[in-house]
Amino acid sequence: MGIQTCSGAISLSRDLESEATKFYQTLAQTFEKEKELFLAFAKENEKYTKQIERAYYGVITDAIEGCFAFDLDPEDYRFKNTLVKDAGYAEAVAEALMMEETLLKFYRVAAEQSKHLMADVPRAFLSVAKKRSERLSKLKSLLEK
């Protein structure tokens, strides 16, 4: 089922961040050598959720197209945490990279779709997209170590 409403898009963002948080917490438990980095990612995800919710609750108004802002298919962005218990480090980081690319795509698409509507919301999406883009570089560098 597609998502057209702001409320639906914000909830999807919250769900995606929550899944990503759980994923990094698992990685932190599994791979001691990058524990701090993965926990930092998990914490940042919670911050992104708050940032987006704050933007949404701050500017939501019935006068702008809150119910007609998006055309998102959640299935395009949901990732399954398929990491098996004894997966190797490289495999885990590769999965994290895939997840981050999906999230980056979500935030860019959501920002583009809502750009005519409530400026603070697409700005928040873009801000998180930028951070995610930086995170991709960090994850890639882990693979090169």
Contact residues toward other proteins (CB under 8 A) are 1-8, 11, 57-69, 116-117
In whole angstroms, how close is the CB of 142 to other proteins at the nearest point?
36
The distance of closest approach from Cβ of residue 106 to other proteins in the complex, given in angstroms and rounded to an integer, is 17
- Cβ proximity to other proteins: between 63 and 84 the closer is 63
Q: Which residue has the tokens 């959640």?
A: 74
Q: Which is nearer to other proteins, 68 or 98 (CB)?
A: 68
117 with 69: CB under 8 angstroms? yes
- Residue with tokens 């999807």, as numbered in its chain: 12
Cβ closer to other proteins: 6 or 28? Answer: 6
d(CA 132, CA 45): 10
Other beta carbons within 10 angstroms of residue 58's beta carbon come to: 11
How many angstroms separate the CA atoms of 36 and 61, rounded? 40
| Residue 110 C-beta: closest distance to other proteins, Å | 15
